[in-house]
Each structure stands twice: as structure tokens, then as C-alpha cells.
Structure 1
């Protein structure tokens, strides 16, 4: 780091961005999440990435450059090989007879500057640029995946290992969660799932498809001679800035074998509940719930809604040396140091229920059950939470209130559900508006009434006839989608005395939901609309994931 944390603190306080107490909170959050203080300041909107760069450059007396606001000639950009530029975080952005100008995250690196000057035979002038700005520039000016691939297959011997590495590298740079390699009738299609949406990124000759699948099988230690049965495996790939775990699924389809690679980046392990988008009021409810040494915390939502990530964020906060934490998952997605993680294995009859029974004989304080799928697992989990264990788990329900009748449907007595469940977190993931191309637009109340109930609109805009919201126009950074990254929309149902009474009387989910709203619960729709007004996401995204209809 160019400046120490103490110097950064002095700069932030001197400019009146936050006070001493506020900075202490930032330090604590950064430590818990595994981020730097600089990253946390930007994440919390205390200061923009650009303004933080300007503050540091003024303090260190280095000139500052914003690469997003200039156009770089390809000839200049390619003075330094992309691999080196990415590793050393340096980009040449201008060149003339007097020398070359370099944007760097560390302009004090004299050894690197001398090496570049010697290579090009010209003196180098250094400028400070932020790490995010350099990452964005590398993404804009990198070679197109299809062009890179076309060059690779021109060689006499096509390097399969390079092709697979190329796909994983590009997927990681694009922050894709999954890579789909699908055999078609005449070719093979590669698609990346970015922010929950699949994008076509590459078309391959059909003749190469089987060779790529074989290479993936070898890396995942799967049978290369098996083509008619599904296979599941995993591999670890070393990228420039991290080692990435990849879960592999091979499935025979009509045109051949389809592979799906789930990328489990260590960067996502750092997420805290605040990073995921939980507001202060809901966070307080969850903090109270996991502060107890007994009871259940349930996370609900469909597949891909971030349930497991939320539970992992809680597990990380609870993970101290004086506690024994054991999990049973199908499978364990991320390795958490200090936590005993068990994978479900149906071949050895290690199911959620059997695993949970064994865990209870291991003197646990906290238990995480990957998913409550059946009556047996539900019964054991509830009994565990009654006997002084804190149990965390997930359920597939549409909202928080529905989770309570669901447990009763699994033959758990209503009085047991009422006395064990502390809190239920329902969530969805919405795409965040790209900050690079974000702009405002005005919509009328009539436009809103087409999609939202009038009482909700009145709560938010009152008597106003128009409202200003944000949208992304689309740029190279966000692949012309207008969105970059995702954030959660939540509803947190705290099981209060009134809610317990409704559960024991077997009231349905609608009655429980209404009572929770009366007691101040923020629904997912309300939380989503608050994020729309803050400029974090769009109304279209909130409606897409909450599926609210104006009746």
C-alpha cells in the first residue's frame, strides 16, 4: 500500500468525510470482511474511488490519471504484455518522442519503471491510478475472446490446455459464476453466467468440443471413457491473483456432453451481510438472533438467491476459537478455516439427517445444515436447537412467512416451530446499476401504477407526480448491459411473541406476513424500492425478482 492506514485516516478525517467513531467502524468492518480500509471506504460510499485516488495523489505529490476518461491507442496499450500489466497493475496510456506515460497503482516502484524504460528504450513518466480504474481499463482494451481463440486454433497443434485456461481466465475477469460449454448441431457454444444472466461469449468448431470436455475431465479427475452417464467433479486452477476452486458437472445431452463449471472465487468469501445489501434495521434483528446460543436462523429463497452466502457471512462472524462449528452441506462451496465441514455422500448413506445425528455427538456449539429437505432433517434440526445449539439452515420458500407453515408441513409440531425459530431471512439478488455509465431519468406516477400497487407508490412518493430514478446506459465495463455486480433485497422476519401465538394456532402464511408488516418488517419489495431510490438498482430488476403484480 502506498500510504499507511494512519496516513489514510488522517486524510479522511482532515477532509471531514467521517469522524473518528465512523472511521473506527470502517476499520472494524474492513477487518471482519477481509477488505482493505480503502476498499471499505469506497464500498460504503464514504468517498468515490476517483476522489480517494485524487486525495492520495495530492498527499504523495504524484500526478493523477483517470483512464476511464481517455482513449488509449492499441499500439501504446500493448507496449507492456497484458499478463504483466495485469500482474504489476501498470498501463502505458500515452507515448511521444519524449517518452512513455505509465498509469500505476504504485508509482514509487522504481525497479519496475526502470525495467519498462529499458525495454522500450524511452524514459517513463509515472502517474497514480486507482486499482479499480486499471482493472476496468484492462477489461476494455483486452483482446476479444473470440479473436484470441481464433488465433490459438490457427497453430498446427491446437493446445487444449491453453483453450481451457483461456475460458477460465476470461470467466474470472468477467466475474462469471458459471461457464456453460454446450454442444450444438454444427458447433459448440460457450456461455458465461454474469450477474445471474447467461451471455453467449464464444463459438467453437464442433470438432474441438470433445477434446475440450476430455481436458476438463482430466483436470477434474473424472472418467474420460464414460460418455453416457452424468459425472461430477472439482478442480483447482491457479490464476494470476488467486487460486480458484471449480465445481464441474458433465451431462450427456442429444448432441454430445455438456459441461458446466461453477467458479467458486475466494473473493466472494469476503462478503459480509452489509456488503450483501442488508439494511441497518434488518441487520440488527439478525445480530440479535445469532447472538443467542440456541434456536434456529433460517435463510429462504429460490436457487441462486444468495442464501448460502448469507449463512456463510453469519458463520464467519461466529467463528471464534472458543466455539465448535460444524456444517453438513451438499457440497461445501467454500472452505472456512476453523470450521468442520462435511459433504453429503449418498453412496455411504451420509445424508443430511444421518450427518446431523452424528454432528450432535461431536459437542457442537453451532450447526449449519445446508438445506432442510425432509421431515427427518427438520425434526432433528429443531430438536438440536431446543437442546442448546444454534442451528443455521436454508429452505426453498418464496418469502419469510411461508417458511413457518412449511416446517409444520414437515411434521414439526407448531409449538416447537414457535419456540425454536429466532429469525427468518428471505432474499433475492438484483443486478446493480453500472456506476461507470449510470444516468438519471424521470418517470411518472402513471408509469409506476402499471406495475406497482397504489398504496406502495404513495408510501414512497406521496403526492409527487414524477420521480427521478437511475439507469445504466451500457458501456464496455458492463458488457453494454447497464448493470455490474449484484446486491441482495431482503425481508427479515423476527419471531416475536405475537408471531409465536399465530404459529401455535396454525395460522397461514398470509396472516403471519400481515402481522410481521404491522410490527415493522420491511418486505423484499419495500427493500428493493429503497435501493431503487438510492440509485443502486432499477425498478425492472426489483419487479423481476419479486414478481409483484398489481391486482
Structure 2
């Protein structure tokens, strides 16, 4: 069974898949992977064999193998001669007692390190990290937001004290002090942020700003001289600003703290790979469009020009160009 699981994981890793799904279907299991937002079947097997695969993965992840219906979470670090991948597992049973399992593959922060279309966009973020304040990332699940944040923070970890607060921890980084949200133990984002401030870190990685209290604590930390790297759920750079305002942050606070708003997508390339394209607004430019309300499109002019450049230079195909032109 160990060998069968290793073959599955190695295939998923070679495809740079974000997830592996074990879905019961009649008397069989379908095993799918998600690659760049598209699911593809890589294997079908008997119900018995699929159950054995699931049991092996659950055992490795310290989950209760005998529990088939109730939701469970687990984690496991898979390693071979070439790779070390953090696996986050979630299982649940349907009303018939058939168990399904999802394995999220969290690659090391160096795995996609060079996969950016335009280096100057990374330089913009690196330059912003030299200062204190707020750098906010957005983009759909699997677009590499956490990887980008970790890449930026890792370059500063030798000289700066870095703490991360996530729900759950997505990348293991021994050079950071990593805290994990546990609401049952009254360890919410906002509570952990308050505690973490007593450790006087230079840089905070906050997995996501979800509520008013977390937003306020993050803004206050940025105002008091910390660098905050975080994500906000929004569909574009303009939406990030509006989302923070809806969470009770004022225009003045955002103007004082915001270094960069960065929206990103992982876009398929013609050679079969994928690279990240950013849509960015620097803090000094906020009042030009967003605050004055002069927004004419979902994406900035720079996004459309850079995507067109990728297409004209045959880095991406026409389908990708048309798919991502509005983000």
C-alpha cells in the first residue's frame, strides 16, 4: 500500500497539483487531481482498494482510521529523494457511509519561486517589504498567495523575527515562529495577534483577515511599526480595498499603512507549465483611483497590458488570454 500511495503522490507532484480527491462512485473510487483549477481523473480502483489507500493516508496523518463518517482533519509531511511536500487531509462520510478524502498538497516555498512572468512585479513587493506597513494579497484558492508571502518573508528571516498566524499552517518553515488558529481553544486570529505582539516580531504573516477585530489588530500592528503580510478575500485589487473598508478600516488608516495591494493568478503557459501574473497597486497610488472612485474596470490597465504582452510573445495561448483578461 505504501508503494501505491507513493506512486499517486509522485504523479500529483509531477503535475504540480494542488489537491488529490478520493471520491466514492457506485462500487468504485475515482481519484482526481486539481491542476490549475481543472480536475482530471488519474485513477479508478475498486472500493476496497480505494478504502485501503484512504486508511493508509489517514494513519500517516494521525487520523482515526475507524471513523468513517464524522469530519476529520490531519496532516503529514511526505518526502522522497527529490521532494518534501506538506499534505493537509480532510475526510468525511456521506449519508450512506461512503468516505471521501481530499489531500491538499502544500509545496515548499521554493517550489514555485521562479514562476513569475515579470520580475519587476516581485521587485515591487520586495521593495515594499523593506518598509513597515501592510501588504495585502488576494486571488482564488491555489493561485499561490501563501507561497508568495513565504518567499518574501524567507528572504528577510535571517535579519528579522518572523511570525505567522494561519488557519491552518500551510507551509512548514523552521525559521519562522508559526502559530495555528484553534477557535475551540479560544485561539482566534485576533487573540493570537494580540499575544504575538508581546513577542515583538518584525514581520507578521496573517493567513487571512476575515473579520473586523482581526482587521483592526492588523492595522494597529502596521501603525506601530510592523510589516504585515496578509490575504483578503476579494476578486481584484479594487475589491481588496473595499473589503477592508467594509471591515471597518478607514481611508485614512489605509493610506497610512498600505504599501501594496497585490492580486494574483496562476496562468497556464504554452509549454505546459504555469506562472504567476500580478495586478498591483502601490500605496502611493491609492488616492488616484480607488479613494476618488474613478474605477472603470475590474482590473488595472497594467494587468491588461501585461497579459496582452504574454499572449503576443507566445507565452500563453488565446484561450488563457481571454479567460484571464478580467482576472
Could you state the TM-score of these two structures normalised by the residue count of structure 2? 0.91
Query: 1: distance between equivalents of 2:280 and 2:175?
Result: 28
Q: Distance in 1 between matches of 2:8 and 2:111?
A: 24
Superposition deviation, residue 270 in structure 1: 4.5
Determine helix, strand or coil for the equivalent of 2:23. strand
Q: Distance in 1 between matches of 2:296 and 2:205?
A: 26
Structure 2 equivalent of residue 253 of structure 1: 94
| Residue 512 of structure 1: how far off its partner (Å) | 5.2
1:32 matched residue in structure 2: none
Hey, which bits of structure 1, 4+ residues long, moved more than 3 A? 500-503, 545-548
8 Å Cα contact 2:134-2:227 kept in structure 1: yes
SS of aligned partner of 1:540? helix
Paired position in structure 1 for 2:318: 539
The answer to whether 1:285 aligns with 2:124 is: yes
User: Partner residue of 1:499?
Assistant: 286
Distance in 2 between the 1:238 and 1:346 partners? 30
The answer to whether the 8 A contact 1:179-1:190 is kept is yes
The answer for the alignment partner of 2:65 in structure 1 is 224
TM-score normalised to the size of structure 1? 0.56
- Alignment of 1:297 with 2:125, yes or no, is no
Structure 1 residue corresponding to 2:106, chosen from 258, 264, 277: 264
| Shift of residue 351, structure 1, vs aligned partner | 1.1
Contact 1:298 1:425 in 2 (8 A): yes
Query: CA RMSD of the aligned region, Å?
Result: 2.2
Once the two structures are superposed, residues 100-135 of structure 1 have per-residue CA deviations (whole angstroms, 9 ceiling, x without a partner) of xxxxxxxxxxxxxxxxxxxxxxxxxxxxxxxxxxxx
Aligned to 1:275: 115
**SS in structure 2 opposite 1:397?**
coil
* Equivalent of 1:424 in 239, 261, 282: 261
1:403 and 2:240 correspond: yes
Structure richer in helix, relative to its length? 1
**Counterpart Cα distance in 2 of 1:286 and 1:237:** 31
SS at structure 1 position matched to 2:217: helix
Q: Does 2:282 align with 1:485?
A: no
CA distance in 1, matches of 2:189, 2:295: 29
- Equivalent position SS for 1:229: coil
Indicate the residue corresponding to 2:302 in structure 1.
Answer: 522
| Distance change in 2, residues 1:290/1:237 (3 Å) | closer
Bigger strand fraction: 2
Q: C-alpha offsets along residues 192-221 of structure 1, whole Å, 9 cap, x if unaligned?
A: 223332111111012323222222221111
- Alpha-carbon distance in 2 for matches of 1:363, 1:278: 34
1:222 deviates by 0.7
Q: Deviations over 1:304-340 (max 9, x none)?
A: 22211111121122222x3111110112222223211
Larger radius of gyration: 1
SS for the counterpart of 2:302 is: coil
Question: Any unmatched runs of 5+ in structure 1?
Answer: 1-159, 435-483
C-alpha distance in 2, partners of 1:402/1:264? 26
- Partner of 1:378, secondary structure, is helix
What is the match of residue 216 of structure 2?
379
| Structure 1 residues 537 and 362: CA distance shift in structure 2, 3 A | same
* 1:311 corresponding residue in structure 2: 149
Q: Report the 3-state secondary structure (helix = DSSP H, G, I; strand = E; otherwise coil) of the residue aligned with 2:316.
A: coil
Structure 1 residues 412-491: aligned runs within 5 Å: 412-434=249-271, 484-491=272-279
- Superposed CA deviations along residues 453-487 of structure 1, whole A, max 9, x for unmatched, are xxxxxxxxxxxxxxxxxxxxxxxxxxxxxxx2211
Change (3 A) 1:398 1:243: closer
Q: When the two structures are aligned, how many residues end up with a matched partner?
A: 325
- After superposition, where does 1:7-406 map in structure 2 within 5 Å? 160-254=1-95, 256-266=98-108, 268-272=109-113, 275-280=115-120, 282-292=121-131, 294-320=132-158, 322-406=159-243
Higher relative contact order (CA 8 A, sep 6+): 2
